[in-house]
Amino acid sequence: MHERKQASQPEGILHTLLSIIVLVALVLGLTWGLRTFIFQAYEIPSGSMETTIMPGDMVLSEKITYYGRPPAAGDIVTFEDPDPEHMGRILIKRVIATGGQTVDLRDGRVYVDDVLQNEPYTHGEPSLALRSYLFEEITYPYTVPPGGLWVMGDNRTNSQDSRYFGAIPESSVTGKALFIYWPLTDIGLL
């Protein structure tokens, strides 16, 4: 009987190690799957979405919504920075217009398809045209190309957005910003 216990101890240790390895692999695989297909957390680095989202806020962006429908005007989206110098960087802005719609900026106000937009989240900040530095000069009225999105930060005087880089491709969207989860003083749905 004593010999039998000694023979099973190495098997027991091996079984325990194998169990731990399988558990770690399962956790890592689940984490990767959730981040890739379900949601992603982001820390907001700038004030381009103030006062809706403040610098330092932690935001959860979910990906499920856009499996069933394309982004719509009013959605706050995370997307890949179109500037090749910042490849891999994720930005967050509000969708103002979608493919085929025409955006115009007149007297600091935003018009989509000739309709003045009600934008209380800008707190009356003017939406002035910016000089496009990234690609070609943007002229208004501007028609968003099919499969494109016109995005703008809520802090219109401090946001490099579609006024700077033009429409973004829908395919660059990484998710829909769902809620702020940190700090606790800012927690809430977007």
Active site residues: 48, 93
The count of C-alpha atoms lying within 13 angstroms of the C-alpha of 32, restricted to the half-sphere facing its C-beta, is 6
Find out whether 151 and 142 touch, Cβ atoms under 8 Å. Answer: no
**Rounded-to-integer distance, Cα 188 and Cα 190, Å:** 7
Residues 6+ apart with CB under 8 A from 190: 52, 53, 59, 76, 177, 178, 179, 180
Alpha-carbon span 132 to 98, nearest angstrom = 19
Does the bond joining 183 to the residue before it have cis omega, within 30 degrees of 0? Answer: yes
Which residues does 149 contact at the CB level (< 8 Å), separation at least 6?
Answer: 71, 77, 79, 95, 97, 98, 99, 162, 167, 168, 169, 170, 173
Peptide bond into 51 cis (omega under 30): yes
